[in-house]
């Protein structure tokens, strides 16, 4: 592959500024250079390109045909580079707080509460990224929310949920031919499994005294998001975490057909380096999220 030729960036900046102002003097002032330096860079660019970019007239500068053709592309490139640099590295970049979130937790728990954080801390610009199953904390994230037992060496973990395992389905799923009155009725329905959770359908059925139900049958998903959506569409019964389906149950888009609910030892945790609290934005988010989790716990 041929290497693309690109003149030095400082020469292009000098050309763009001089062409925009039609003045070496104004370009020098804008770029904090001397007029001689601007002139020298323009000459270098013209030499490299093998074309005259400016016509020197008694009354001032004028772009040549080549200069007129070249300016739009150079101007756009300089503008885009300046905008990207300011967005990523500008004065406000230190206020960007990157939070990597388990996606199902974000959709069904955190997103509902985020407006409150924005009201309390309008100066903090959140950058939300998502994960499903991870083995390592994202080094680029300031904070992370993940699912597990809360033990990650070298990291602090604040528990956010105290869940019950609750089967959920669409209100229309149960029929006279296929009722859902007791756990044994699950033998006649599709079970929606989520890979990665230690306490799944087998665990729940054993606790419910319905071990005769084949816990291996049904559909398997890599995230609870998919399982809950398929359950909502009336295609089976998902084993949900109570903290994630409160709104769906309240709205009636999902129902919990059984009274049996069993605690799970797994939970969602806010995970971060002990040094993260040195960042005031991170400290504010940590304090707010823990308070929200405690409030949710008390309301249950």
Residues 6+ apart with CB under 8 A from 26: 17, 18
User: Whose CA is closest to 145, among 113, 112, 99?
Assistant: 99
Q: Confirm whether 287 is domain-assigned.
A: yes
Q: Which domain holds residue 64?
A: 9-89
Based on the fold, state whether residues 241 and 189 are members of the same structural domain.
Answer: yes
Q: State the pLDDT at residue 203.
A: 95
pLDDT for position 95: 67
- Rounded to 10°, the helix 35-49/9-21 angle is 110
**From the centroid of its chain, how far is CA 195?**
22
Residue 145 · residue 271 · CB < 8 Å? yes
Q: Both 17 and 81 in a single domain?
A: yes
Is 98 among the domain residues?
Answer: yes
The pTM of the full predicted model, rounded to 2 decimals, is 0.69
207 and 293 assigned to the same domain: no
The answer to the question of residue 120 being in a domain is: yes
Buried b vs exposed e over 93-111: b needs ≥16 C-beta within 10 Å?
eeeebbbbbbbbbbbbbbe
Tens-level pLDDT at each residue, the chain (300 residues): 445 678 899 999 999 999 999 999 999 999 999 999 999 999 999 999 999 999 988 888 899 999 999 999 999 998 888 877 776 666 555 568 999 999 999 999 999 999 999 999 998 889 999 876 555 545 578 899 999 999 988 889 999 999 999 999 999 998 888 899 999 999 999 999 999 888 999 999 999 999 899 999 999 999 999 999 999 999 999 999 999 999 999 999 999 999 999 999 999 999 998 888 888 899 999 999 999 999 999 887
Residue 1 lies in a domain: no
Residue 51: which CATH number?
Answer: 1.10.10.10
Q: What is the domain-level CATH number for residue 213?
A: 3.40.190.10
For residue 203, give every residue at least 6 positions away whose Cβ sits within 8 Å of its Cβ, in sequence order, or none: 165, 262
Q: Quick one: 181 and 253 in the same domain?
A: yes
Is residue 238 domain-shared with residue 294, that is, in the same domain?
A: no
Count of other CB atoms within 10 angstroms of residue 115: 9
Domain count, the chain: 3
């Amino acid at each position: 592959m041929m290497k693309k030729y690109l003149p030095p960036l400082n020469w292009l900046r000098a050309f763009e500024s001089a062409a925009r102002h039609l003045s070496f003097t104004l370009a020098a002032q804008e770029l904090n250079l001397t007029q001689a330096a601007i002139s020298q860079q323009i000459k270098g660019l013209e030499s490299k390109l093998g074309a005259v970019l400016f016509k020197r007239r008694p009354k001032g500068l004028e772009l040549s045909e080549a200069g007129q053709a070249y300016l739009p592309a150079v101007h756009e490139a300089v503008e885009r580079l300046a905008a990207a640099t300011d967005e990523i590295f500008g004065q406000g970049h230190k206020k960007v707080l990157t939070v990597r979130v388990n996606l199902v937790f974000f959709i069904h728990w955190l997103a509902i509460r985020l407006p409150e954080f924005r009201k309390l801390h309008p100066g903090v610009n959140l950058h939300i990224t998502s994960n499903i199953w991870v083995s390592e904390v994202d080094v680029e994230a300031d904070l992370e929310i993940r699912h597990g037992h809360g033990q990650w060496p070298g990291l602090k973990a604040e528990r956010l949920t105290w869940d019950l395992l609750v089967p959920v389905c669409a209100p229309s799923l149960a029929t006279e031919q296929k009722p859902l009155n007791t756990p044994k009725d699950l033998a006649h329905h599709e079970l929606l499994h989520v890979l990665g959770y230690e306490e799944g359908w087998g665990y729940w059925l054993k606790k419910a005294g319905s071990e005769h139900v084949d816990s291996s049958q049904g559909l398997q998903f890599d995230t609870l998001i998919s399982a809950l959506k398929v359950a909502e569409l009336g295609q089976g019964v998902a084993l949900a975490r109570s903290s994630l389906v409160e709104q769906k149950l309240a709205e009636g888009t999902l129902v919990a057909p059984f009274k049996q609910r069993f605690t799970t030892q797994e939970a969602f945790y806010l995970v971060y380096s002990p040094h993260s609290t040195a960042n005031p934005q991170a400290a504010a988010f940590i304090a707010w999220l823990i308070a929200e989790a405690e409030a949710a716990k008390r309301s249950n």
